[in-house]
Structure 1
Amino acid sequence: MIAKDLPVSFRSVQRWRQAWDEAGPRALRSQGPASLPRLNEKQLEAELAKGPAAHGWEDQRWTLARIKTV
């Protein structure tokens, strides 16, 4: 069963199956990222150069989650 093999809910698998039945494999194509980046590359570099403390974190460690938040 797909839902057991992948880290997804049974309901997600049902939606995928319904989309496939209604529109074929094209219905399952990626629609791209759910949101667009808020900063361009230069803006992001400038914000990261300020360091994590400037953005409210106590330590000076950048993590992917923190970068995504910025």
Structure 2
Amino acid sequence: MLDAGPSASGWSDQCWTTARIAEIVRLRFGVDYTVAGPDLLLHRIGWSAQVLSRTATGRDEAIIALWKDEQWSVMNRGRRTWAPGSAARTRPASA
């Protein structure tokens, strides 16, 4: 059933999810799984999570590169490793 694809089971897109596989197993075999259960079973038989192979139609690589250069470096700065004072409210900061 997995080889036939999700459209053969009634889903319009071509992406298997663990929730969908859990539903297929429940309908076909009468066994209930949590969402994590089918993931473990799939890994045992050599399958892995699917990732979309296409990108968004409105994606502009030049704007993304510019944003990474300007904004990401500011957001991804290292934090201070030392600051004066104490974080505890019961102990005043030593001068």
Q: Shorter-chain TM-score category?
A: 0.3 to 0.5
Q: What is the TM-score normalised by the length of structure 1? A: 0.34
- Structure with the bigger percentage of helix: 1
From the CA coordinates, give the structure whose radius of gyration is larger: 2
